[in-house]
Structure 1
Amino acid sequence: MPTFTSADGTEIAYHLRGEGEPLVVLPGGPMRASAYLGDLGGLAAHRQLVLLDLRGTGDSAAPVDPATYRCDHLVDDVEMLRAHMGLDHMDVLGHSAGGSLAMLYAARHPERVARLALVTATPWALGMPAAAEERLVAARSRQGEPWFAEAFPAFEAWLAGTGDFDPVFAPFFYGRWDDAAKEHDARGDHEFNDEAADIYGSDGAYDPPTTISRLARLTAPVLVLAGALDGGPSPELARRTADVLPNAECVVQPGAGHYPWLDDAQWFVRCVVAFLEKASSPHLRAG
């Protein structure tokens, strides 16, 4: 298991899957160990996945200062990873909350990003959180499923702030609530750092006007991938995210929830590989 030492002395781990050109993958959660990503539905057959365990998660050490769990501070760890791997520029994939980290990294280091894939990415960094009503609209579309009657009231209460997060509504995050989804969800019990998650998006983590202004300089191609059944982000929110980025395309995976590589691995991999194999951006060719 390779590691590197961050600027503040924290030992950060990452995991390599597959061979070929590296694709740096930033996990969501927020602050969930990268193990939940697996091989992204077989994407490791096409690229070498560099799965970063954010500080305090997975095999990475916890920092001395918990304030460094904040998303904007984590940008420095991503840049240290790039330098550690000897990459002049790199392709980056951010999933869910990791999408905000990926956007902050691209805003601060646009010349280091060759291609950027945002997979069901929550655009908190852009000041665009998923609205409760968008989540409820997506949830109501599942009312024909056998678990809906029990799950929906708890989900509605959580979104209204009158109830806690409840495992009973986990099915809303998956396109299919099958054995694979149940096993994937259950692993979250030991893959999350709840303390770090509370700090990840705390006050000061995001400066949307500055981030949007800096992202206007990003010349790298961007893929914004949404799940048709996902409410956070909804396909419409994903389209609004793509509108902020100067060289972005938005695609919606049919029948997919928040973890699209589990719902239809072939569709997901085909889409991401096609994006990554497109002609290099001008600054990449010049590098």
Structure 2
Amino acid sequence: MPIFRAPDGTRLAFHLRGEGEPLVALPGGPMRASSYLGTLGGLDAHRQLVLLDLRGTGESGTPADPATYRCDRLVDDVEALRRHLGLERMDVVAHSAGGSLALLYAARYPRRVGRLALVTATPWALGRPATAEDRLAAARMRASEPWFADAFPAFEAWLDGTGDFDPVFLPFFYGRWDDTARAHADREEAETNDAAADVYGAEGAYDPEATRSALARVTAPVLVLAGGADGGPAPALARRVAEVFPKAEFVVQPGAGHYPWLDDPQWFTRRVSAFFA
């Protein structure tokens, strides 16, 4: 397991999967260990995945200052990784909350990004969170599922603030609620640093207007991939992320939820590997 140091001295770890040109993977959660990404559906057959454990997660160390869990401050860690890898420019794939980290990195270091793929990326950094209406609309598309009757009321209550998070509605985050999805969901609590997640989007983390302006000058090719069954972000919201960049492709993976590489690994890998090729 390779180790490097952040500018503030925090010990950071990353994991290598596969062979070939490096492809840096930024995990979501927020603040979930990169192990949940697996091989991104077999993407490691095309590129060497560099799975970064953000500070305080996975095999990385805990910082002395918890305020450094904030998304904009994590940009320094991503740049330290690029320097450690010795890359003039790096290709990046970012998932979910990691998409906001990737957006902030591209805004600050546009010349250091080769290609960027944003996978079901929540655009908090652009001031556009997923809405409860989008999530419920996506959830209603699953009405024929055998678990829907129990899951939907709990999901609705959680979104309107009258109920707590309940694992009963986890199926809404997956395009297929099968044994693979269940095992993946079961690991989330152990893989996530909840205290760090609370800081990730704290006040001051994002400056949407400045970020949007900076990204309009990014010349790197960008792929924005949405899941057809995902409500956070819904495809319409993900499309608005693509519109920020001068050179972006937008694609919807049919039937996919928030973890599209699990729902249809072949479709996902074929589309993403073609972009990075």
The residue aligned with 1:125 is 125
Distance in 1 between residues matched to 2:148 and 2:244, nearest whole Å: 35
The residue aligned with 2:87 is 87
Given residue 82 of structure 2, which amino acid in structure 1 is its aligned partner? R
The residue aligned with 2:266 is 266
The residue aligned with 1:175 is 175
Does the aligned pair in 1 maintain the 2:217–2:245 contact within 8 Å?
no
Per the alignment, in what secondary structure is the counterpart of residue 240 of structure 1? helix
Residue ranges of structure 1 left out of the alignment (5+ in a row) = 278-287
The residue aligned with 1:143 is 143
Does the aligned pair in 1 maintain the 2:120–2:232 contact within 8 Å?
yes
The residue aligned with 2:32 is 32
The residue aligned with 1:108 is 108
Residue ranges of structure 2 left out of the alignment (5+ in a row) = none
The residue aligned with 1:282 is none
Distance in 2 between residues matched to 1:130 and 1:59, nearest whole Å: 30
The residue aligned with 1:197 is 197
Comparing 156-165 and 9-18, the one that deviates more? 156-165
Given residue 142 of structure 1, which amino acid in structure 2 is its aligned partner? R
Q: CA RMSD in A?
A: 0.5
Runs of 4+ in 1 over 3 A off after TM superposition: none
Q: CA deviation at 1:246?
A: 1.1
Does the aligned pair in 1 maintain the 2:227–2:260 contact within 8 Å?
yes
Q: CA deviation at 1:196?
A: 0.3
How many residues were matched structurally? 277
The residue aligned with 1:229 is 229
The residue aligned with 2:74 is 74
Distance in 2 between residues matched to 1:214 and 1:240, nearest whole Å: 16
Given residue 57 of structure 1, which amino acid in structure 2 is its aligned partner? T
Deviation per CA, 1:103-134: give whole Å up to 9, x if none: 00000000000000000000000111111101
Distance in 1 between residues matched to 2:168 and 2:63, nearest whole Å: 33
Given residue 137 of structure 1, which amino acid in structure 2 is its aligned partner? A
Q: CA deviation at 1:216?
A: 1.0
TM norm structure 2: 0.99
Q: CA deviation at 1:14?
A: 0.3
The residue aligned with 1:212 is 212
Distance in 1 between residues matched to 2:187 and 2:134, nearest whole Å: 27
Percent identity of equivalent pairs: 75
TM norm structure 1: 0.96
Given residue 14 of structure 1, which amino acid in structure 2 is its aligned partner? F
